[in-house]
Amino acid sequence: MQIDVAIDLNGIDTSESRKYPALPAGQYRVMITSAGYAQTASGNGYRIPLELSVLSGEHRGRTLFEGLNVVNQNETAQQIGRQRLAEILDALGIDRDAFTDTKQIEGKAVLAAVSRSLVKDPLQREKYGDEGGFQNSVARFAPDNIAAPGQTRNGESAAPPSGHADPAPPSMTEEPPW
């Protein structure tokens, strides 16, 4: 898109690190804010890159990125990617056979079991890790049993009753549904 205003970027310091620390491992209520479909870096497969926004708790507003390898020469990577996609579809109540467009999962809330681990390759830690070299990944997706105001459990629009209060965030001490 064409930018039609002048933006003065002179004097903007970009030398300071802007990395956020990896989230603690745990269960997070997240919104799938973006889901795409792209060729893998190697060019011999396809992945669904996801952008997830934490909806509640002290980390509300933080963003997680997850990539689902749905077509890959590495059968293990493909199996894991397809399993995560099936978990998302099941959590949202979307028939697996009816899934034809990543837009079907955008704007919907799910629970994500997030892990935190050290980036294994020391050469990749600077690029993919936080200041300590840690990164997050989603180990599992499950249904979000708490609907956001104005939405049903699967994210469809619903008019909230007058005086409707935000639902309480899920307890991090409760047993995960998986």
40 assigned to some structural domain: yes
Between 129 and 171, residue with greater pLDDT: 129
167 assigned to some structural domain: no
Concatenating the DSSP letter of every residue in 8-35 gives: --TT----S--PPPPPPSEEEEEEEEEE
157 assigned to some structural domain: no
CATH number for the domain spanning 70: value is 2.40.50
Q: In total, how many domains does the chain have?
A: 1
155 assigned to some structural domain: no
**What is the model's pTM?**
0.72
Q: What is the per-residue pLDDT across 132-146, written as a single tens digit (0 to 9) for each?
A: 889 999 999 999 987
Q: What is the per-residue pLDDT across 82-126, written as a single tens digit (0 to 9) for each?
A: 999 999 999 999 999 999 999 999 999 999 999 999 988 888 887
Cα→Cα distances 46→38, 70, 83, 89, 170, Å: 6, 6, 15, 18, 33
- Residue numbers of the domain that contains 106: 26-143
64 assigned to some structural domain: yes
pLDDT given for residue 124 in this prediction: 80
Instruction: Work out the end-to-end distance of the chain between its first and last CA atoms, rounded to an integer number of angstroms.
Output: 43
> What value, to the nearest 5°, has the Cα angle with vertex 100 and ends 99 and 106?
75
